[in-house]
Structure 1
Amino acid sequence: IHSGEKPYSCADCGKSFNCNSYFRVHRRTHTGEKPYVCGDCNKRFTAKSSLRVHLRVHTSEKVFTCEDCGKSFKHRSTLTIHRRIHT
């Protein structure tokens, strides 16, 4: 399982993957397939995880909280930028 072997190789770009599911998601970057659709705005995504992140734009859900001040954010990257004010 942790052999470092990457048996799934993309014929289009040569990128290799150790997991078939990651390879299948990657292939969508070449095919343009976007099977995951937002029910609110119809925006489409190649990966279910991308749709989950996107769905937060339609809600007030803020899942990333600063341990120093308690302020919450919708995206981890925004929290990371915010954390700089505490250093």
Structure 2
Amino acid sequence: KCLECGKSFSQSSCLICHQIIHTGEWPYRCREGVKSFSDHSNLLSHQHLHSRKWPYQHGDCHKNFSQSSHLICHQNIHTGKWPLECPDCGKSF
């Protein structure tokens, strides 16, 4: 449990990552840029920008992505699942 805000976590590693929010600490720094990150996985995702490694490619339009989740979101555009339209106001998001 976080002593600062009271939020509980099932794993101690999640608590440690969470506590960075309160300390303002960003220990994972990009060597090629000026950005820093609170957790290692976000740094790794960012580093794809510098490495130009975009291993996930859409088969139809050949657009490349650094993360599989970004490709999945992109595929929803082609299938018509995105953008979603609100039935009440008509806005799409």
Give TM class, smaller chain.
Answer: 0.7 to 0.9
User: Map of 1:54-73 to 2, 5 A cutoff?
Assistant: 54-66=46-58, 68-69=59-60, 71=62, 72-73=64-65
Aligned identity (percent) is 32
More strand, by proportion: 1
Letter in 2 for 1:18: S
Q: Give the equivalent residue in structure 1 for 2:85.
A: none
The two structures, once aligned, show a CA RMSD in angstroms of 2.0
Higher-Rg structure is 2
Q: Give the equivalent residue in structure 2 for 1:46.
A: 38
Structure 1 stretches of 4+ moved >4 Å = none
Q: Give the equivalent residue in structure 2 for 1:5.
A: none
| 1:86 pairs with 2:79 | yes
| 1:35 pairs with 2:35 | no
Distance 1:10 1:70 in 2: 46
Gaps of 5+ in 2: 81-93
Scaled by the length of structure 1, the TM-score of the pair is: 0.73
Higher relative contact order (CA 8 A, sep 6+): 1
Q: Give the equivalent residue in structure 2 for 1:4.
A: none
Scaled by the length of structure 2, the TM-score of the pair is: 0.69
Q: How many residues align?
A: 78
